[in-house]
Amino acid sequence: MNVTVEWIYKSPKGLETTFRSDEMPAEQAIRIAEDLERMGRAKQVLFLDRFDSSWTVKEMKGYLKGIETEPHNITVYFDGGFDLTTKAAGLGCVIYYDQNGNSHRLRRNAAVKELISNNEAEYAALHFCLQELELLNVHDLPVRIIGDSRVVINHLSEEWPVIEENLFSWADRIESKMKELGIRPEYELVSRKKNTEADRLAAQALNGIDISATIEVANE
């Protein structure tokens, strides 16, 4: 979870002004807030998330403590591939998350049929990722969702309208699943070069190679 830190600075002569930081991980924001409070010049410290909610230091500490044993700080990469000749599709899913003080990476793929386009495969890939999040028992959390499909990202972030009936159906399924899980999505469109893991998984699924693995990764 990323937040900005907002605080009211009070000078020794009683002058006050408000400062706001750049966005940063909530754990880092806590450390900065504690340092500000030790200085004795911060009259009020708040954390602001991407959904316009504000948190006190006590509230944020309680929130982070409550989710420590559950998957959190979740980033999802998705990609779908489609073969026009065979009408087969490959779905790629990569999920990064923290749990019990460690960072993890989940990689899954799947081969599916009965889709009609690459755009539909992209939607199916994101829906596949949501199913994996459900298996991880992810609920009531913000989730970064990253993909290179301009159609999917712009449709779901409401930058573009959904016109095609089959894509509208997928968008509806995805939004319903997110509502069911309490996921608050943060969409990010990237280039294909920055989505290579999910792209490779989708390609491997099209070639009949099944991937299912979760490993612990080093913190950056």
- C-alpha to C-alpha distance for 208 and 206, rounded to whole angstroms: 6
Indicate the pLDDT class of residue 219, thresholds 50, 70 and 90: low
CB 35 within 8 A of CB 7: no
133 touches 76 (CB < 8 A): yes
Question: What are the residue boundaries of the structural domains of the chain, listed by start?
Answer: 2-67, 72-217
Q: Give tens-digit pLDDT for 92-143.
A: 999 999 999 899 999 999 999 989 999 999 999 999 999 999 999 999 999 9
CA angle at 174 for the pair 169 and 179, rounded to the nearest 5°: 125
Nearest CA-CA partner of 205 in 50, 105, 106, 88? 88
Pairwise CA distance, residues 47 & 151, whole Å: 33
Instruction: Please answer whether residues 76 and 94 qualify as being in contact, where contact means their C-beta atoms are separated by less than 8 angstroms.
Output: yes
User: For residue 64, which of 100, 20, 37, 38 has the smallest C-alpha distance?
Assistant: 100
Architecture, CATH, for domain 72-217? 2-Layer Sandwich (3.30)
Give residue 97's pLDDT.
96
Structure tokens at 120: 């539909």
Enter the pTM of the model: 0.82
